[in-house]
Chain A
Amino acid sequence: MASSPPDRKRRLLEALPDQPEFVATLDLVWRQAQSSFPGARLGEWLEACHVLAESDVGRDCVVSYVRSAPAIASAAGADAALSIARMVSETATRAGDRAAASLAMVAPRAARRLANGAAFAEWLRVIKIVVAAAPESVTPLLDRSESLLQELGVQGFEAWVLDGVRQGATDPQKRLAFFTRRDQPTLRTASREEDEVSLSDVERQLKAFVMALWHMAPPIRDLPSGAPDRPRRASFAGGIVRLPSSFRGQSRDEASLLYRAAIAHVAAHLQFSRTKFAIGSPKPLQVALISLVEDARVEHLAMRRFPGLGRLWRPFHIATPSGALTAPALMARLARALIDPGYADDNGWIQKGQEMFFAEETRWEDPGISRSIGGLLGNDLGQMRVQFNARTYSVEPAYRDDNQGLWAFDDVSAPVDEQETIFESVRFEREDDAEQPDRERETPEDAADGQEANRAALVEVDAEVGIPVARYPEWDFLIGRERPEWATLVEYEASEGQADAVEDILHRYPVLEQRITKLVRSAKVSRPQRLRRQQEGDRLDLDACIGVAIDQRLGDAPDPRIYARLERRFRDLSVLLLLDVSQSTNDIVPGAGRKVIELEREATALLAHAMAGLGDPFAIHAFCSDTRADVRYYRLKAFDAPYDAAAKRHLAGISGGFSTRMGAALRHAGRELSTRMSYRRLLLIISDGEPSDVDVADRRYLVEDARHAVKSMARLGVDVFCVGLDAGGDNYLTRIFGRRNVLQIDRVERLPEKLSMLYFRLLGS
């Protein structure tokens, strides 16, 4: 009973006499629809329109859909246009007509931007999730959808949106705030495309490069995002080298070269621009030109030592002797003329600059020439009445820095301090304020979670300043990828308790203490060694056999010990004990009548005593977390520190608070452990509960992340075992660590038998 599309259309229009707008719109797009819906699809589309028009979806939505559908179909295919019809009706039901109308209007633009059916389907899937999980946020999200897609691409869009949904899982206001906020710190990390080179990809290489060239290790940091209308430039003001977190629109190789050129340029400044110019009287134009000459001066000095740097820098100078006589264009040409002696320019001002600069070749060591030549050129350029806008000016070419570091502004600290910090490699990094809003936002909710009592106890810890030491990625099982630099690990000073408390534990369990010591001693975790001249063994010892033959000929009684065997004789094992000190460790262990944290302390004290007595290298760290911006990490005892009163005080001083973001802590501990020179490296995490954090509502997310972290430990050559102190926690602990690697105990008395299992597994695997 197939009828031709025009018939279908006619019947459709007749069926809806009360919808004149619909009719008019359909007529309007009819020609376009005929070309974008091939063959039978046109009929299907009319059917979909009909269904939509007769549903209780608002008229505006239907009209919007009819108007957009042909455009969607031509950009992303007929299927996409048809699925939008279903989506519009679903959205209208769940999120209201306004959201549905937005969807119909935004969809064609998204389809055009994504330009293929698969990507559009991805986008639609994400919108669908938002419609289901966060209906109030659909409209604001759709309004921003196009710019977000432009900035992030569809994958980044997905990552960002899912993060928003998760962060505000139970709180519509919070979700709405997330989706309407403009200056998203999260956008920065989500915005990394897979094939883009970011600073973190090349940072290590750049550091090694500067170290190789100049034997110095300036701290390198991300450049905080500045005004969007100006291209971003490197900077070394304040003793810290800041580089853009990525160079947009550059291919991988180009971006790597650009980073390299930028760091080489900054290094040349650090090497040769030792004193700063006093800002004094020069006008902005002169400041720019003095800086430009100074750039050329330090580059030439650097090239005297490393001529190859010229090949690195010169290709970025692409100014040619033509084009408009604007200040930026002339300055780009001057920059080229000063670094490239072979470059000839017909402009008199540039020729003059080139001549003056190269005439002073013997005096290049003196930064004063930058000031005099730059000042003169600035005057000349000023008299040429060319436009110069200091606010929009950005240094060209892109590898050069913004020159802020060259000038001593009145309010910055003394240059002497800065020089010192430049040449110090700073291990701890103070965090930029970028993450701050996140934390502030979370704080009220903490209190709402009924943790007030705990808060009071933790004021003291809070007052101490933690030092952010690293950012770790987090595995997101929903998107099947790692979110880069997601969790910030902050190290705090461990608080102190009474060392006696730890001693008491040993006194309380004397038998247990001996058993554990004996157990640890008997665990021979090391490379096997060949033992020769044994009574028994798995192979003959050739030397011994010769000895027997000799003895026989001499008529002596031969030595019967003619075997050799392999045996593990020593223990070559580094152990890192990682304690979970989250709020839940204040709970009572079911059946034991003791707090989890007490049990943790006892187990740790017993083990530490045994290991210290046997001289095994071990460390005790602890962690808890307060959102991903503040994964708290305490070093109770470091590997190279003795297990002395200080370590015991730290162990006695642990108290439970905050949440359990296990993945980041595992990664941090694993990274440290992986540098130990041992035959085996054991990360023993003592935890009571499921990973959780206040900014994560999805229970599975942190479990999966921890599981992923454990897997990555294996690649680092670290064995991870978990001592679970909660009999009920079997499921997720098994999920995270694997069935063989979880030891459940509910009484410290059971520690020895569980430990022997652990050592046995260490040897067996």
Chain B
Amino acid sequence: MDLRHYVIAHEPYYRAAADEVDLFQAAYADRMPMMLKGPTGSGKTRFVEHLAWKLGKPLITVACHEDMTASDLVGRFLLDAQGTLWHDGPLTLAVRHGAICYLDEIVEARQDTTVVIHPLTDDRRILPLEKKGEVIHAHPDFQLVISYNPGYQSVLKDLKESTKQRFGAIQFDYPPPEVEAEIIAHEARVDRNLAQQLVGIAERSRNLKGHGLEEGASTRMLIQAGRLVARGASLQAACRTALVLPITDDEDIRAALTAAISACL
């Protein structure tokens, strides 16, 4: 099995806000499991893609959900005409063939699921396939990366202490205004002025975090707003479509946000 399809061919754009790229490379050199923390849309996934490209390793991404079982990660037996057939799950694939395995939003998965990564994330670096009676020693290129957003999940959903302590962590946040404007300008192909305006608008929305909004507008949302403008939408309409309507169903907050955005223009 080769992982050619998982290799990222072109450089994904990533604008470093600090020394996170160097840190990650150092962690990879030692195959240290990494945890990316931060709000949604702050560039965690893009960062992993960028690093996978930079390191020239295939990247296997798994979006975790609350019904996910260990089999979904590790693999399972299937039946075929001849009998049973073992099918590697995404994690096993990465461990066997040497890829970076990225478990997105790991806290969504059930806690009994997440423990399968324990033997992989200490110095054993093994993955026991209980059903198959096999122990896989991780490929030298294998690295485990997980992401999680400590903000919006309820207290019920948190990583076990024993899981947390196996990882190094990089904190992601919305970049400083200048950098964020640069990112928006690049990604949405809009001019710097517009990008800066969008960053100013984002600050209004982020001010409302905890005061009516669960989370302020993310960089990703700003880029989407910028793209709408680049395609000819008016800035007002783009902000409404990309920044206001998706983020809240609360009439009052929506009206306040719209008014605040209109004050920025």
Contact = CB atoms under 8 A, between A and B. Distances in A.
A209 B211 CA distance: 10
B151 interface: no
Nearest to B83: A553
Interface in A514-573: 530, 543, 546-547, 549-550, 553-554
Interface string A242-285: 00000000000000100010001000000000000000000000
A205 B252 contact: yes
Contact of A550 (B84, B256, B264): B84
Given A208-B212, A550-B77, A307 B265 contact: yes
**Of B79, B255, B257, B261, which is in contact with the most chain A CB atoms at under 10 Å from its CB?**
B255
Interface stretch (A34-42, A308-316, A387-395, A688-696): A308-316
Contacts of B212: 204, 208, 211
**Which of A202, A306, A307, A543 has most chain B Cβ within 10 Å?**
A306
A553 B84 contact: yes
Interface in B72-89: 76-79, 83-84
Contacts of A206: 256
A207 B253 CA distance: 9
A100 B207 CA distance: 63
Interface in A197-220: 202, 204-209, 211-215, 217
Interface centre among A209, A306, A547, A553 (most CB of B within 10 A): A209
B263 A208 contact: no
A111 to B, nearest CB: 40
A1 interface: no
Contacts, number: 79
| Most B Cβ at <10 Å: residue of A217, A546, A554 | A546
A312 B263 contact: yes
A295 B42 CA distance: 39
B79 A212 contact: no
Contact of B256 (A208, A306, A549): A208
Contact of B208 (A212, A306, A530): A212
Contacts of A208: 208, 211-212, 252-253, 256-257
B264 A677 contact: no
Contacts of A553: 83-84
Interface string B175-216: 000000000000000000000000000001101100110000
Interface in A179-202: 202
Given A546-B78, A547-B77, A205 B256 contact: yes
Contacts of B253: 204-205, 208
Nearest to B265: A308
Contacts of A547: 77
Contacts of A546: 76-79, 84
Given A205-B252, A306-B263, A308-B263, A212 B205 contact: yes
B141 to A, nearest CB: 31
B211 A217 contact: yes
A547 B71 CA distance: 13
B255 A213 contact: no
Interface in A300-331: 306-309, 311-312
B26 interface: no
Interface size class of B (residues with CB under 8 A): 20 to 34
B9 interface: no
Given A208-B256, A309-B263, A311-B262, A550 B79 contact: yes
B154 interface: yes
**For this complex, into which size category does the number of interface residues on chain A fall?**
20 to 34
Contacts of B257: 208, 212
A607 to B, nearest CB: 24
Contacts of B83: 550, 553
A471 B83 CA distance: 71
A547 B130 CA distance: 13
A677 B156 CA distance: 10
Contacts of B260: 209, 212-213
Given A215-B207, A543-B71, A550-B84, A209 B259 contact: yes
Nearest to B76: A543
Contacts of B205: 212
Interface in B211-265: 211-212, 252-253, 255-257, 259-265
B151 to A, nearest CB: 14
Contacts of B263: 213, 264, 306-309, 312
A208 B156 CA distance: 28
B107 to A, nearest CB: 15
B201 to A, nearest CB: 10
Nearest to B248: A208
Contacts of A307: 263-265
B79 A549 contact: yes
Contacts of A217: 211
A713 B212 CA distance: 21
* Residue among B83, B154, B207 having the largest count of chain A Cβ atoms under 10 Å: B207
B256 A212 contact: yes
Nearest to A312: B263
A206 B259 CA distance: 10
Contacts of B155: 677
Contacts of B77: 546-547, 550
A553 B85 CA distance: 12
B211 A308 contact: no
B86 to A, nearest CB: 10
Nearest to A547: B77
Nearest to B154: A677
B78 A209 contact: no
Contact of A213 (B156, B204, B252, B265): B204
A526 to B, nearest CB: 11
Nearest to A306: B263
Interface in B82-111: 83-84
A345 to B, nearest CB: 27
A205 B248 CA distance: 13
A547 B77 CA distance: 8
Contact of B262 (A204, A207, A308): A308
Contacts of A264: 263
Contacts of B262: 308, 311-312
Given A308-B262, A550-B79, A212 B252 contact: no
Contacts of B261: 308
B85 to A, nearest CB: 10
A714 B93 CA distance: 50
Contacts of A308: 261-265
A213 B79 contact: no
A208 B252 CA distance: 8
Contacts of A306: 263-264
Nearest to B257: A212
A202 B259 CA distance: 13
Interface string B92-135: 00000000000000000000000000000000000000000000
Contact of B204 (A202, A212, A549): A212
A547 B207 CA distance: 54
Contacts of A214: 207
A543 B71 CA distance: 10
A264 B263 CA distance: 10
A463 B186 CA distance: 66
A204 B252 contact: yes
Contacts of A543: 71, 76
B48 to A, nearest CB: 30
8 contacts: A209-B259, A212-B207, A212-B208, A214-B207, A215-B207, A260-B259, A308-B263, A309-B263
Given A211-B211, A213-B204, 7 more contacts: A205-B256, A208-B257, A212-B207, A308-B264, A312-B263, A543-B76, A550-B79
Interface of B: 67, 71, 76-79, 83-84, 154-156, 204-205, 207-208, 211-212, 252-253, 255-257, 259-265
Give me the 7 closest cross-chain CB pairs, A-B, nearest first.
Answer: A208-B256, A212-B260, A306-B263, A308-B263, A209-B256, A205-B252, A212-B204
